[in-house]
Amino acid sequence: MSYHDEQESIESFKAWWAQWGNSTTWVVLVALMAAAAWNGWHFWQRREAAQAAVLYEQVQQSAAAQDKAAVTRDAGDMESRFGGTAYGEMTALTAAKTLYETGDVAGAKAQLQWAIDHAKDDEYKQIAKLRLAAVLLDEKAYDAGLALLDGTPVEGFQGAVADRRGDLLAAEGKRADARAAYQLALSSLGKSDTSARQLVQFKLDALGG
């Protein structure tokens, strides 16, 4: 390149920079900031998941020991600090089971309701509804249990939901509706669910008619 051509290139670059240089700098800065934020977010998520995993292990140990006080404390800690992770909903179900087994029905219901309200995974939410409906069945709160199971069940849970609805309806004395629910459960359960199908058929036969 000749000296004259080089000078023309420099002048052209100066002109371009005068018009677009500031905007280009901002674009580059925004891109760098976005990349840094993205990396920071992933680092934060990994750290949160690791800390939640450690706390969940502690929850499991407390549950295995049937330590109601420790389970309650650990569950509260998990839900307040890591409630947005999968460990939050897993902890709620684990805590609910332990609290119910140790006689704290109110605490178990609170944990199941937390899972229903906060779980991001629809399957965990459906499991929590089924378990809470079972508790409401024990308490003879039939209408509340049925209302909890309203709506379209999560894929794969149609049979379990229909079965639980049948239990509530049968306990309430609505035999015809209970039979219809059990028949729906039978048609929804897979052929491989032998024990579940046998139990539903037993309940259906017990209703008679």
Q: What is the pLDDT along the chain (209 residues), one digit of tens a residue?
A: 555 555 556 566 566 556 655 665 545 544 556 555 555 545 445 676 788 899 999 999 999 999 999 999 999 999 999 998 889 999 999 999 999 999 999 999 999 999 999 999 999 999 999 999 999 999 999 999 999 999 999 999 999 999 999 999 999 999 999 999 999 999 998 888 889 999 999 999 998 86
In 3D space, the residue among 168, 181, 167, 88 whose CA is nearest the CA of residue 128 turns out to be 88
> DSSP string spanning 52-96?
HHHHHHHHHHHHHTT-HHHHHHHHHHHHHHHTTSHHHHHHHHHHH
Superfamily designation of domain 121-209: Tetratricopeptide repeat domain (1.25.40.10)
Distance between CA atoms of 72 and 79, rounded to whole angstroms? Answer: 11
Residues of the chain with CATH 1.25.40.10: 121-209
Residues in contact with 159: Cβ distance below 8 Å, sequence separation at least 6, in sequence order: 184, 185, 186, 188, 189, 190, 193, 196, 200
